[in-house]
Structures are given as structure tokens and as C-alpha cells.
Chains A and B, each alone.
Chain A
Amino acid sequence: MWACGPCAAGVRCGIVLYMDGKPICAADRYILRGDTRLTTAILYLLAAAATAASYFADRARTVQALRKAKASLLNILPEFSVVLGLVGIMLTFLSPALIQRYIGAGSGVPGLLAASVVGSITLIPGFVAFPLAASLLARGAGPTHIALFVSTLMMVGVLTFPLERRYFGRREAILRNGLAYVFSFVVALIVGAVVGR
């Protein structure tokens, strides 16, 4: 029997996927493909190239741009550090295994509420979320619940609320997250109706 070990994402989710016929941890499968690291490398390379090009074109302007970049980053760093801390706590106490239990648990309205609340407060990357959702679907969870979880996960950000409020103001943050929460139910019902048939 294959046992789930702590994978590259540092979670013991217990979700098994198959790659080339061999069992592999769901998160490992996507991390092994190097998708996220590649994105970062490309982003850094592009930024370095752009800065170099700018420097050759106009030195004074580039220095000004770097100063602005530094000032904006330092200015918003307190809010980002809070998001960092909150996400760290969330990942620890709301593990994929636990998320799975909440979403897979109930059918009906309580189950929908649980899926939406868990989706709203979690902030996990797609390469962990989608395999998790797929394994739940395979085990017979309703597509409505899964769609609700995926939708709230992506659109509603409770943990990033302090950051969003700082940038956009309180009213926008409340309106956007509130509407996104309600809209996620619409998405879920439609997806459930289309996939469930």
C-alpha cells in the first residue's frame, strides 16, 4: 500500500493521483512539473531584462523607477506581512485533509454553507486545490459543492481582506467579497445542474 508522506507542498492530504501508472502525491505531481518555479524564474528574468533595458535607455529615470518600486513595496509591507502570517496559520490548522472532510461531509444546505465558508477562508494554490477537488468528485461529492468551494476559494479572500481594504478602501472590499460570495452560489448551482446531469 502506498502511504502519503509529507510532500513538496508540506501537506499530508492523503490524496493519491497516478502519474505513469505509479501512485504519487497530488501536490507533488504538480510541483514536480515545476510550474510554479518556472513562473517565478520567468518573472524575475523579465523584470531583470526590463530594468537593464531601462537603465541603458535612461539612467536617471531607472533610478527613479527603482525608488518608487521600493517605496510602494515598503509602504504596503505591513499588510502583506499580515496576510503571510494569516495564511501560514490557515495552512496549518485547516489542512487539505480537514478541508476535504468539511466539503465532503454534508449534502444539502449545511454542506453548501460549509464548502463556501471553507473556500472563503482558504488560500491555497490551484495545484493543491484542483486535485483535492477532483478526488472529492471521484469519491462521490456533489459537483455543486465542489464548484462552490472552487469559486469561493478563488474569488472571496477573507485573509487578504486587510490588504484589499488598504488598497481599495473598506467599501469596495466588503462589496467585492460579499458579491463574490453570493455569486459563487449562482456559479455552483449552474455548474451543478450542467455537470450533474
Chain B
Amino acid sequence: MRGLLRYRLFLAIVAFDLLVLAFRPATGITLFGHSWRVLAQMLGLLPPVFLFLGLLDVWVPRETVMRFVGERSGVLGMALSIVLGAAAAGPLYGAFPIAEAMARKGARYLNILIFLGAWSTLKVPMFLFEFSALGPRFAVTRWAVNVVGIIGMAYLIDRLMSPAEKAILGSGTAGGGRAERTRS
């Protein structure tokens, strides 16, 4: 019962979808078609991502992550975070679990925010699409402004958050669950 309760919002959405299907069958079929495709997209991304994160958790020592993107990684850590985010593929929600794994391994909060920003808008495959669809001037200008903006916003958010608020990420509320929390 408690398990089902966690899905109450999702179940409400499904109920809405069914109502649409009942009263507007054509729209309902489109709706379920779209939802199905989103599900397929999520299934294409999430299982391997979580698998990688599980492996990363047991194989990569905390010291390694800290050395590359930790508190004292400096400019190199920031550059690495941008490269990591830009090399990614897939929608932004794929970056959230990775960000949480980074936090658990001792990555600097600023770098996690930079990674998130780079993933959202600096992804190389998307840049190539944009370049061909909207032209070099459009794509290059947007990319350049974004690099500056992402780092600036990351600094700002980093300053505006208290250590306790930053600790939410990686505290086990979303990722590893209770076992993870009692372990650390």
C-alpha cells in the first residue's frame, strides 16, 4: 500500500489519460502513443545509466573522483565537468542520477552544477544538429554565450545555497536509499 502511495501522482495522470481516452478516443490514442514513445525513450536511457552508476559506485574510489572534480580540482575540474556534460547524449533527466552519484563520490557542488548546465545545452550532438538546422552564426553565438552563462549561474547558485541544502544531493533521499544513508 505504501508502495502504491508513492505512485499516486502517476496514477492520477493515468486516470486522466483514461478519461481522455473514454471521452475523446482519437486524442486518447494519440496520448497513449506519445506516452508509450516517452517510455521507450526512458527505457533506452535509464537502465544502462543506472547500471553504469552502480558499477562506478563499487569500482571507482572516492579519492579518484575527488581528485578530478572534487573541492580542490580548480579550473581543471570545471573544464572536465563541461567536457563530461557536453559529451553526453539524452535529455536532462538522464543527468540527475549522474549528478547524484558525483555528489556521493565527493565531487564539488559547483562542478556538478556546471556538469548539469553543460548537459542541458552544450551537448555536442545537439550542437551539430543546431549548426546544420539554424546556421553557424546562430549555433556558435548561442554556444559561446552559454559557456559563460553556465559557469556564471553555477557560481551564483553555489553561493546562494547553504551547505545543508547542498547536502540534499547525494544524501540518499533519491539515489541509494536507506542502506546508503546508514552506511556513511
| A interface with B by C-beta (< 8 Å) | 9-10, 30, 35-36, 39-40, 43-44, 46-47, 50-51, 54, 61-62, 64-73, 75-76, 78-89, 91-92, 123, 125-127, 130-131, 133-134, 137, 143, 146-147, 150-151, 154-155, 157, 160, 162-164, 166-169, 171-172, 175-176, 179-180, 183, 186-187, 190-191, 194-195
Nearest CB of chain A from residue B20's CB, rounded to whole Å: 8
Given A50-B55, A86-B13, A134-B134, A154:B31 Cβ within 8 A:
no
- Size class of the contact patch on chain B: 35 or more
Q: B82: CB under 8 A from chain A? A: no
A88 touches B46 (CB 8 A): no
18 contacts between A and B (CB under 8 A): A9-B37, A10-B34, A39-B90, A46-B48, A68-B180, A78-B6, A85-B9, A87-B35, A154-B120, A157-B92, A160-B96, A164-B96, A166-B173, A167-B96, A167-B169, A172-B169, A175-B160, A194-B137
Nearest CB of chain B from residue A56's CB, rounded to whole Å: 13
B33-86 interface with A by 8 A CB criterion: 33-35, 37-39, 41-42, 44-55, 57-59
Q: Report A-chain residues with C-beta under 8 Å of the C-beta of B10.
A: 78, 81-82, 84-85
B125 touches A35 (CB 8 A): yes
B50 touches A44 (CB 8 A): no
In the complex, the chain B residue whose C-beta lies closest to that of A87 is B38
A88 touches B35 (CB 8 A): yes
Given A82-B9, A179-B157, A47:B51 Cβ within 8 A:
yes
Instruction: Give 13 new A-B contacts, CB below 8 A, not counting A44-B47, A80-B46, A191-B141.
Output: A39-B125, A50-B51, A68-B180, A69-B55, A71-B176, A85-B10, A126-B130, A130-B133, A172-B166, A176-B116, A186-B145, A195-B138, A195-B141
| The residue from B44, B54, B179 contacting A69, defined by CB atoms under 8 A apart | B54
| B interface with A by C-beta (< 8 Å) | 6-7, 9-10, 13-14, 16-17, 27, 30-35, 37-39, 41-42, 44-55, 57-59, 89-93, 96-97, 99-100, 113, 116-117, 120-121, 125-126, 129-130, 133-135, 137-138, 141-142, 145-146, 149, 153, 156-157, 160-161, 165-166, 168-169, 173-177, 179-180
How many A-B residue contacts, CB cutoff 8 Å? 236
Provide the bound-state CA to CA distance between A120 and B100, in Å: 23
Given A10-B30, A10-B33, A46-B48, A126:B38 Cβ within 8 A:
no
B55 touches A65 (CB 8 A): yes
Nearest CB of chain B from residue A73's CB, rounded to whole Å: 5
B contact face: mostly helix, strand, loop, or mixed: helix
A89 touches B177 (CB 8 A): no
Nearest CB of chain A from residue B112's CB, rounded to whole Å: 9
Nearest CB of chain A from residue B35's CB, rounded to whole Å: 3
A186 touches B149 (CB 8 A): yes
A43 touches B161 (CB 8 A): no
Nearest CB of chain A from residue B41's CB, rounded to whole Å: 8
Nearest CB of chain A from residue B10's CB, rounded to whole Å: 4
| The residue from B126, B138, B173, B177 contacting A191, defined by CB atoms under 8 A apart | B138
Provide the bound-state CA to CA distance between A125 and B133, in Å: 14
Q: Report A-chain residues with C-beta under 8 Å of the C-beta of B180.
A: 68
B38 touches A88 (CB 8 A): yes
